[in-house]
Structure 1
């Protein structure tokens, strides 16, 4: 059950479709063997306005929110797999970053509301 949030500079959409970024993140999550494919949740968020050091530098940042209980080594492996997957795209002058953050099992709640 990771929640995978892909944030990226909108100008990258001309070079790589957002769906391809999501697919790469999903494949890396599967390769980690930490999650079942049906538990992986993915979404993307383009940014029209962005600055890095006062300039519009292209970026892709992925946040992986996982339930607590995984080791630092497992989370580290996951972030490296995702970074490796993202850097396979033929993009230049782009900053890639990945962050794995833990959601506390004791405070995470979920309810799926289905139509009747």
Structure 2
């Protein structure tokens, strides 16, 4: 835990590799000291078609799905740490957003074969 999903405009691949985005998100999440580094799962999904309002604008959005039990302050610090890492890319004309979503600990199920 957590599950980190990075959604981004495919056109950004001309400026930054998906692996670089995953590394940035992983580093910020690992440095939060909320999770064991080996349990952080990071995935990327590129979107070729996207709009904000009636404009096509580049974006990077990170969703961090974490088990319940963390304080609001911990979740705020986590989202800010990820946002700060993304801003270090110095990409211009890009909307960066981060959201933290809780998964109820008693309902989450996992199986590894």
Query: Which bin holds the TM-score, normalised by the shorter protein?
Result: over 0.9
Structure 2 partner of 1:26: 26
Structure 2 partner of 1:70: 70
Q: Which runs of 5+ in 2 are unaligned?
A: none
**TM-score after normalising by structure 2:** 0.98
1:1-116 alignment runs, 5 A limit: 1-113=1-113
Q: Which runs of 5+ in 1 are unaligned?
A: none
**TM-score after normalising by structure 1:** 0.96
Aligned alpha-carbon RMSD (Å)? 0.5
| Alignment coverage as a number of residue pairs | 113
What's the CA shift string for 1:44-67, capped at 9, x where partnerless? 000000011111100000000000
